[in-house]
Structure 1
Amino acid sequence: MAGCKTDQGKFYPLFDQVVLLSAPADVLLARVKARTNNPYGERNGERDAVLNHLATVEPLLRATATIEIDATAPVERIVQQLEELAEH
Structure 2
Amino acid sequence: MKVLLTGMSGVGKSTLIGEFRALGCHAVDLDSPEWSHYSAVKPGEAVEWIWRIERVSELLGDSTGDALFVGGCAANQGQVYGLLDCVVLLKAPEEVMRERLATRQGNEFGKKPEELEKIFRDKAEFEGLLEAGADLVVDTSKPLDEVIFEIANYVGIRLQDDVE
TM-score > 0.5 by shorter chain: yes
Deviation at 1:31, TM superposition (A): 0.6
> Is 1:57 aligned to 2:126, yes or no?
yes
* Aligned residues of 1:21 and 1:68 also touching (Cα < 8 A): yes
Give TM-score scaled by structure 2 length.
Answer: 0.48
| 2:135 matched residue in structure 1 | 66
Query: Conserved in 2, the CA contact under 8 Å of 1:25 and 1:54?
Result: no
Of 151, 154, 164, which residue of structure 2 is paired with 1:85? 154
Q: Deviation at 1:83?
A: 1.1
- Matched residue SS, 2:89: strand
Partner deviation per Cα, 1:22-64 (whole Å, 9 max, x = no partner)? 0111111111001132222221101101111111121110111
Following superposition, the deviation at residue 80 of structure 1 comes to 0.5
Equivalent residue letter for 1:24: P
1:25 maps to which residue? 94
- Cα RMSD, aligned residues only: 1.7
Q: 1:36 to 1:15 in 2, by over 3 A?
A: closer
Structure 1 gap ranges (5+): none
1:5-16 alignment runs, 5 A limit: 5-6=75-76, 8-16=77-85
Report which structure shows greater RCO (CA 8 Å, sep ≥6): 1
CA contact (8 A) 1:32 1:41 kept: yes
* Structure 2: gaps of 5 or more residues: 1-7, 10-72, 158-164
Greater C-alpha radius of gyration: 2
Aligned length: 87
More strand by share: 2
Q: Is the alpha carbon distance of 1:84 and 1:49 closer, same or farther for their aligned partners in structure 2, counting shifts above 3 Å?
A: same
Q: Distance in 2 between matches of 1:11 and 1:61?
A: 14
Deviating beyond 6 angstroms after TM superposition, the runs of 4 or more aligned structure 1 residues are: none
Q: Which residue of 1 aligns with 2:50?
A: none
TM-score (norm 1): 0.84
Does the residue aligned with 1:77 lie in a helix, a strand or coil? helix
Could you tell me how far apart the structure 1 residues matched to 2:115 and 2:139 are?
A: 23
